[in-house]
Amino acid sequence: MLEIFLKTLPFFGLIGLGYGAAKARFFPEEAAAHITKFVFYFALSAMLLRFSANLSFSEIFDPMLAAAYLWGTAFTYGIAMAVAFWRRLDAATAAIEAQCAAIGNTGFLGVPMLAVLLGQAAVGPIILILSIDLIVFSTLLTILVTGTRGNVKGIRVVRTVFIGLLKNPMIVSIAIGLCISASAIPVPEVVNSFLTTLGAAATPGALFAIGASLASKSAERVQIAAWLSFAKLILHPLFVAAGAFLFFPVDAYKASVIVSAAALPVAGNIFILAQHYGVAPQRVSASILFSTAASILTVSVIIGLVAV
Task: Give ∠ CA 93-273-294 in degrees, rounded to 5.
Answer: 80
- State whether the Cα torsion 189-190-195-197 is positive or negative: positive
Could you read off the pLDDT tens digit of each residue along the chain, which spans 308 residues? Answer: 678 888 888 889 999 999 999 888 887 878 888 888 899 899 999 999 999 998 888 888 899 999 999 999 999 999 999 999 999 999 889 999 999 999 999 988 888 889 888 988 999 999 999 999 988 998 888 888 876 665 555 566 667 667 777 778 888 898 898 888 888 788 899 999 999 999 999 889 888 988 888 887 766 668 999 999 999 999 999 999 999 999 999 999 999 999 999 999 999 888 878 877 788 888 888 899 899 999 999 999 999 898 76
* CATH number of the 2-306 domain: 1.20.1530.20
Q: Where are the domains of the chain?
A: 2-306
Residue 218 is predicted with a pLDDT of: 67
Give me the helices (H) in the chain, please.
2-23, 29-38, 44-53, 57-60, 63-86, 91-102, 111-118, 123-132, 138-147, 155-166, 169-183, 189-199, 202-214, 222-230, 236-242, 252-262, 269-277, 281-306
Q: Tell me what pLDDT residue 85 has.
A: 95
